[in-house]
Amino acid sequence: RATVRREGADTDLAVFEHNTWSGGGTLALADGRAINISTNFWQSRIEWQWQDGRPLFGYETEGFMRLGASLELTPEAAALPELLWLLSFGWYLVVMIQHDQATQAVVIS
């Protein structure tokens, strides 16, 4: 679980609940909207979409030793007032997924 807050604030802008079994999770915004976040099998693609299935944006990761990603952004996402912190939180999730994969690789070897 992760929360998003304004600096110095005690109230959440959003709460992310991770779904370990299916990858991804749900980001519940304070105003009641929810965004589903899903990954492919290799966790190299992370997609964000409204609960009704409308896409917002997605990251396609690349690299192993040096993490990078390309971003696909829909016009609807570009108009969101929350876009900057959504993209920042999205990148946080990309980094955390890569960190988890690296940890698993060390444990397996």
Q: Give pLDDT tens digits for 60-80.
A: 987 666 678 899 999 999 999
**Rounded to an integer, what distance in angstroms lies between the CA atom of residue 83 and that of residue 97?**
21
**Rounded to an integer, what distance in angstroms lies between the CA atom of residue 59 and that of residue 85?**
15
**Rounded to an integer, what distance in angstroms lies between the CA atom of residue 15 and that of residue 3?**
4
Nearest 5°: the CA angle 50, 5, 90 is: 45
* pTM of the model as a whole: 0.81
Assigned token pair, 19:
């779904």
In the chain, the percentage of residues whose pLDDT exceeds 90 is: 58
Q: Is the pLDDT assigned to residue 82 strictly greater than 80?
A: yes
**Rounded to an integer, what distance in angstroms lies between the CA atom of residue 53 and that of residue 3?**
23
Q: Is the pLDDT assigned to residue 108 strictly greater than 60?
A: no
Of 100 and 13, the structure prediction assigns the larger pLDDT to 13
For residue 44, which amino acid is it? S
